[in-house]
Amino acid sequence: MVLGTRSEGQPHAAPGRDVPSSTPSRVKTAMVFVSLQIVLVGSEEGLYALNVIKNSLTHIPGLGSVFQIHIIKEQEKLLMIVGDERALCLVEIKRVKQSLAQSHLPSQSELSPYIFETVKGCHLFSAGRIDNGPCICAAMPNKITILRYNDNLNKYCIRKEIETLEPCSCIHLTSYSIIIGTNKLYEIEMKQFVLEEFLDKNDVSLASAVFAASSHSFPIAIMQVASSLQKEEYLLCFHGASRSL
């Protein structure tokens, strides 16, 4: 299935958080805490470890540019977009810590990431658990790729690719589906990978959100702000507007 288009370009990411002056000049919004003391910082110059106690910055070789970082806690791995090809990859956290422990040596060991060879050109991903199983949704300029973890093969495998005529601007994983934003918000049911519009035009309580979605605007972010047995509530951000539902 091919999703629709929008007339305006992809919005730019928000600027990165301030860090010490020794930080690389072009820091992306790619930061994660791996401990109370160490923050991993992704930049166009590579991966760095910021020690917030010592106020020191250490380069971790082997990756090239780093555009997004996420910790998969149950697997103790980092999921990242790296390199000139903007490839999706996995790196064991213990390898990062080993490299940091050797930073004082003349020859520091380089990381050897596991590259998803068929998932390159990424600009965005989201990872979590759907139906109690690990899942990744990665966005490329003209499609999204859904990967599920295969326990028998002990690796992530591609389960579905969906073409888009415009880049995906936001991704949110629920416990049973994936919500993506292109020209509109769409929800992907994960049993049969059925896709439908997320906003119900016939629901009067969603009138403001439907109006924003139809007013030459496009979604740029979605965040779950509440959840209960009765209902789930999301904050939707559109180019030029935001709505809660």
**pLDDT tens string 226-240:** 777 667 888 888 876
Mean pLDDT for the stretch of residues 38-67: 91
Is 130 a residue whose pLDDT tops 90?
A: yes
Q: What secondary structure letter does DSSP report for 112?
A: -
Domain ranges within the chain, ordered by starting residue: 1-120, 123-245
Strands 155-164 and 2-3: parallel
Mean pLDDT for the stretch of residues 137-152: 96
Mean pLDDT for the stretch of residues 179-203: 84
Query: For the chain, what percent of residues have pLDDT higher than 70?
Result: 78
Length of the chain: 245
pLDDT tens per residue, range 78-125: 999 999 999 999 999 999 999 988 888 777 778 889 999 999 999 999
pLDDT bracket for residue 26 (50, 70, 90):
very low
- What does the pLDDT read at residue 118? 94
Paired with 82 in beta bridges are 66, 87
Answer with the residue of higher pLDDT: 5 or 132: 132
Tokens representing 146 are: 């859904």
For 179, counting Cβ atoms within 10 Å of its Cβ (0-12 exposed, 13-18 middle, 19+ buried), the class is buried
Radius of gyration of the chain (CA): 19
User: Amino acid letter at 42?
Assistant: G
Contact 46, 59 (CB under 8 A): yes
| Distance between start and end Cα atoms, the chain | 27
Answer with the residue of higher pLDDT: 111 or 7: 111
Cβ atoms < 10 Å from Cβ of 15 = 9
Contact 180, 171 (CB under 8 A): yes
What integer best gives the mean pLDDT of the chain? 81
CA distance 192 to 158: 14
User: What sign does the CA torsion over 220, 225, 228, 233 have?
Assistant: negative
- Short-list 221, 244, 217, CA closest to 13: 221
Contact 31, 17 (CB under 8 A): yes
pLDDT bracket for residue 20 (50, 70, 90):
very low
Considering the segment(s) 123-245 as one domain, its CATH architecture is 7 Propeller (2.130)
pLDDT bracket for residue 1 (50, 70, 90):
very low
- What does the pLDDT read at residue 147? 98
pLDDT bracket for residue 48 (50, 70, 90):
very high
Is 181 a residue whose pLDDT tops 80?
A: yes
- Short-list 178, 181, 120, CA closest to 148: 178
